[in-house]
A = this chain, B = another copy of it.
Amino acid sequence: MKKPIPTIRDVAAAAGVSTATISKFINGTQRFSPPVEARIADVIGQLGYRSNPLAQSMITGKTKTVGLSVLDVSNPHFTSIVKGANRVAQAHGYTVLLVDTEENPDRERPLLEALSRRVDGLIIFSRMPDAELEWLAGLDKPLVFFGRLPRLTLPTVASDDHRGAYMMTRHLVTLGHKRFAYMGFSRSRRDEERMGGVKECLAAHGLELAVYDAATPSAHEGERLCPEMMLGAEHPDALVCYNDLMALGFMKAAQTLGFRIPADISVAGVDNIVYGNYTSPPLTTVDLHSERMGVAAMEKLLDTIAGRPTEPFTLIEPQLILRGSTTSRN
């Protein structure tokens, strides 16, 4: 491990040129005659010289890495986004550095400030309220944001959460359900859109909505809230959950309590995580196309970094995925 690492001076001396020439050659900022370029490349190969990326970044101002901050790396919705973003970055020679803000708004700003100065651009998920996001502009890096941002003019990618929730609710109304519940996560900016879609559809049909709020967007919270919802005088006959994780937890707890799904209650989630396929019954859900969101966000970021024009706002259309956890009451 301790053999001396060749420096740019060693390369310059061996090739018989200046260190400035080596630097320009490596960073591609100037061309030299073919014999000179061949000699430099040869020496670099022989000495096993690797330019110091920190020093190189200081000179070029480019790192060829991009940052992606997610709220919870263990939520499959986010890992699908990471997969999509990674694929595009890789195709363009970029490395993605990922940080997990762990659903903790207090961690976001310091983590993103630290990360922003090591990368060429950032894709950001945030739980912080819109009004507290003006510091993002101060990061002074190309940014892409997930979700709608009324107060800032950043390029954004968003799913149509309102429409997805509306479509799912309309489907359940058509199936004959009357007593609706929504298990939400009010700390998320997307909860308002999803609940709004459910409410708008129910109002149009003169139906009520019982709302239960989770402390975290997790299966554990779905389990915890189940008894309160199901063991009252009259339980709902259809439940739309903020996400699939909550729906998974709810279904397990309801079945443990002796309820049959979907005979006693139809259950739907949002996200179309892969594990919804492996429950019994499999979970009906709204696919927000997480992987496509990751692709769109990374394309937008790389366009911005390269100075290419890019659409300021991309809306990804939702899709209903109908499986066995919902049924007709007609």
| Residues of chain A whose beta carbon lies under 8 Å from any beta carbon of chain B | 1, 5, 50, 52-55, 57-58, 63-65, 73-74, 76, 79-80, 82-83, 86, 90, 95-100, 102, 107, 111, 113-115, 117-118, 137-138, 140, 219, 248-249, 251-252, 255, 274-275, 277-280
List chain B residues, Cβ under 8 A from A107: 90
* Residues A73 and B82 in contact, CB atoms below 8 Å apart: yes
A63 and B118 CA atoms in complex are apart in Å by 10
Taking a contact as CB atoms closer than 8 A, the residue among B74, B99, B115 that contacts A83 in the complex is B74
Q: Is the interface of A mostly helix, strand, loop or mixed?
A: helix
* Residues B102 and A100 in contact, CB atoms below 8 Å apart: no
- Given A74-B83, A98-B100, the answer on whether A53 and B248 have CB atoms closer than 8 Å is no
* Residues A114 and B248 in contact, CB atoms below 8 Å apart: no
A5 and B117 CA atoms in complex are apart in Å by 13
List chain B residues, Cβ under 8 A from A50: 113, 117
Give 12 A-B contacts (CB < 8 Å), ordered by A residue: A1-B138, A52-B117, A54-B54, A54-B58, A55-B58, A64-B114, A74-B76, A82-B100, A97-B97, A118-B118, A252-B278, A255-B280
Closest chain B residue to A107, Cβ basis: B90
* Residues A79 and B86 in contact, CB atoms below 8 Å apart: no
A86 and B1 CA atoms in complex are apart in Å by 27
* Residues A102 and B73 in contact, CB atoms below 8 Å apart: no
A249 and B282 CA atoms in complex are apart in Å by 12
A93 and B96 CA atoms in complex are apart in Å by 22
List chain B residues, Cβ under 8 A from A252: 277-278
Taking a contact as CB atoms closer than 8 A, the residue among B5, B58, B64, B278 that contacts A58 in the complex is B58
A330 and B280 CA atoms in complex are apart in Å by 27
* Residues A5 and B140 in contact, CB atoms below 8 Å apart: yes
